Structure 1
Amino acid sequence: MIIVPEKEIGALLGRKESYSAVEQVFAAMASGDAYNFPVVREAIGHADALYGFKGGFDRAGMTLGLKAGGYWPNNLETHGLINHQSTVFLFDPDTGRVKAIVGGNLLTALRTAAASSVSINHLARKDAKVIGMVGAGHQATFQLRAALEQRDFEKVIGWNLHPEMLPNIEKVANEAGLPFEAVELPGLTEADVIVTITSSFEPTLLSEHVSDGTHVACMGTDTVGKQEVGADLVIRASVFTDEVAQAITLGESQHAVAAGDKAEADIHQIGAVINGTHAGRNSDDEVTLFDGTGVGLQDLAVASAVVDLAVKQGIAIEVDF
């Protein structure tokens, strides 16, 4: 069995490798070569934590396994640890034997950013120049760095419930040589691409804040009850997602679908666009929305890539198990 500790991940896996792994597994899902297992997610009644499992099997990439972990909201303040904690377990599809254990914290950030990046590449207008960020926490920096690689952006604008956090994304913009401007929500109409990455249970970004032709990547809603954007925006937009079944139950689409305002049949897999079986964006005026719920296969894809790189570079720890 191979172990790749959390501390080694950053030196092994970058945005390019993460993008490739996530794009490939989205394509495999849409072609029926990969599928996710039902998600288990529970409040454990201790430390205000949410804990669960996401897993699946990718027949094309021969990747089988699960990610175990969740959200401990008091970690940073109480223990000096990031609030999201997870570990990925990979198994040999031919025998069922455990193949690898991989630290999942940085992987989760990288694969989430890669997913929105894939959606921007395949759905945003080619002439997109202004990117807007809703959210400025730890994950937002990963999101912005990945997104900036997909278009020739000229400006970054941002809004956060707590404005004092906006320097987090301003720093990333400055690193890329781009100007940054803090805006109120109506100011987001300037954006050609908007990424939302919050843990909100109340809609923040509404349809009136989004101009025609914008691509919106909603990356924070992964639990029943969460909601980052107004149902009016979901209704207005052409919606794409990682997995439809998950999007309509715990993703951003859950509210519009539950109200009967958006049909499940009108929500499409991003993998179909990657494979060329769906046209994706139809016009420069169309609003597209990616409902990024975060599927287990994303975690397995990037973890598998890390294991391959660790073995190749001699960093992998091998144990007899």
Structure 2
Amino acid sequence: MIIVPEKEIGALITRADAFTAVESVFASMAKRTATNFPVIREAIGHADALYGFKSGFDRAALNLGLKSGGYWPGNAAKGITNHQSTVFLFDADSGRCRAVVGGNLLTALRTAAAAAVSVAHLARRDSKVLGIVGAGHQAAFQLRAVAEQRGFERVVAWNRTASKLDGLAKAAGEIGLPFKAVSLEELGAQADVIVTITSSFEPVLLDRHVKPGTHLACMGTDTKGKQEVEAALVARATLFTDEVAQSISIGECQHAIADGSVTEGDVGELGEVINGDRPGRRAEDEITLFDGTGVGLQDLAVAGAVVDLAVEKGVALEVDLT
């Protein structure tokens, strides 16, 4: 069995690697050659934590396995990230454990890659202003990955606690983009692409905030009850997701489904756009929304890529379990 420690992953996988892995697995899902298994995600009744499993099997890449982990909101005070996870890969022919991979950085990279894939396929080509809603651990990853997909000229951002935007400002500066903290009203009026990456249980971005032609990547809602954007905004947009079943039950679309303003048939798979089986953006003034719920196959795809790279570069640890 191969072990790839968390500390080695940053030097192994690039944003381009993560983008390719996630784009490929979305395409496989739409072709029905890859399947996500039902998600288990529960409050454990301790440390205000959410814990669960995401798993699946990609028959094309032979990635079989699961990610175990969740969200511990008190971890920041301990000097560690709130998101904690580990990926387990299994040999598809024998069922033996093939690899154990640190999942914290990979979760941030694959989540950012999913947003970037949505921008690559759905955002207007002339998008110039990138808006970020939220300033948690994953926000800077989102900024860097999405900024590579269009010729953005500046970044505007909002967070409930404005002082936490310093990290985003630094990330924008590192890639040469001017940065400004703004109100939600200003953000919606200026941004051509908006990424929401919060853990909110009530809408932050409202329908009236968003102008025609915007692409939204809603990346924070992955649990029943969570909500980043107003249901009326979801109903106004053309909808795409990683997996429809998750989108309508634990994703951003759950609330519009519940109030009847959206039906399951209104939500398309981003993989279908990638494969050319569904149109993406059809008009310059159309609002497109990607509901990124996070699927286990994304984790397996990036973990599989990391294992291959670790073996190639000689940093994989091998353990005999027999």
What TM-score bracket applies, with the shorter chain setting the length?
over 0.9
Write the distance in 1 (CA, Å) between the matches of 2:210 and 2:43.
34
Query: Any conservation in 2 of the 1:243–1:269 contact (CA below 8 Å)?
Result: yes
Identity between Structure 1 and Structure 2 (%)? 68
Q: State the match for 1:193 in structure 2.
A: 193
1:46-85 matches, cutoff 5 A: 46-77=46-77, 79-85=78-84
CA distance in 1, matches of 2:287, 2:47: 40
Report if the CA contact (8 A) 2:155-2:177 is conserved: yes
> What SS does the corresponding residue of 1:138 show, helix, strand or coil?
coil
Alignment match, 1:142: 141
Aligned to 2:303: 303
What SS does the aligned partner of 2:11 have? Answer: helix
Could you say what secondary structure the match of 2:67 adopts?
Answer: strand
Post-superposition, which runs of at least 4 consecutive aligned residues in structure 1 deviate over 6 A?
Answer: none
What TM-score do you get using the length of structure 2 for normalisation?
Answer: 0.98
Q: Please give the alpha-carbon distance, in whole angstroms, between the structure 2 residues aligned to 1:39 and 1:125.
A: 33
- Contact 2:240/2:290 (<8 A) preserved: yes
Separation of aligned partners in 2, 1:232 and 1:318? 52
Deviations 1:3-31 (A, max 9, x none): 00011010101101000000000000001
- Match of 2:105? 106
> Which range moves more in the overlay, 46-55 or 194-203?
46-55
How far is 1:94 from its partner? 0.7
Contact 1:62 1:93 in 2 (8 A): yes
Does 2:282 match 1:279? Answer: no
C-alpha distance in 2, partners of 1:104/1:124?
29
TM-score, with structure 1 as normaliser: 0.99
State whether residues 4 and 317 of structure 1, in contact with CA within 8 Å, keep that contact through their aligned partners in structure 2: yes
Q: Which sections of structure 1, spanning at least 5 residues, go unmatched?
A: none
On the 8 A contact 1:89/1:102 being kept in 2, the answer is yes
Give me the whole-angstrom Cα distance separating, in 2, the residues matched to 1:241 and 1:291: 5
- Kept in 2, the 8 Å contact 1:137–1:168? The answer is no
Aligned-pair Cα RMSD in Å? 0.7
Q: Measure how far apart 1:138 and its partner are.
A: 1.5
CA contact under 8 A between 2:218 and 2:252: conserved in structure 1? yes
Structure 2 CA distance for aligned equivalents of residues 74 and 208 of structure 1: 34
1:190, CA displacement in angstroms? 0.9
Q: C-alpha separation between the residues in 2 aligned to 1:177 and 1:80?
A: 29
> Is there any run of 5+ residues in structure 2 with no aligned partner, and where?
none
- What is the letter of the counterpart of residue 110 of structure 1? L
Match of 1:5 in 2: 5
Q: How does 1:145-156 map to 2 (within 5 A)?
A: 145-156=144-155
Contact in 1 for aligned 2:81/2:137 (Cα 8 Å): no
1:267-305 Cα deviation digits (max 9, x unpaired): 000000000001100010100000000000000000000
Conserved? CA contact 2:154–2:178, under 8 Å: yes
1:126-275 matched pairs, under 5 angstroms? 126-188=125-187, 189-275=189-275
Residues 130, 193 of structure 2: 8 Å contact kept: yes
1:80 Cα deviation (Å)?
2.1
Q: Please state how far the C-alpha of 1:179 moved relative to its aligned partner.
A: 1.1
- Structure-2 separation of matches of 1:46 and 1:131: 37
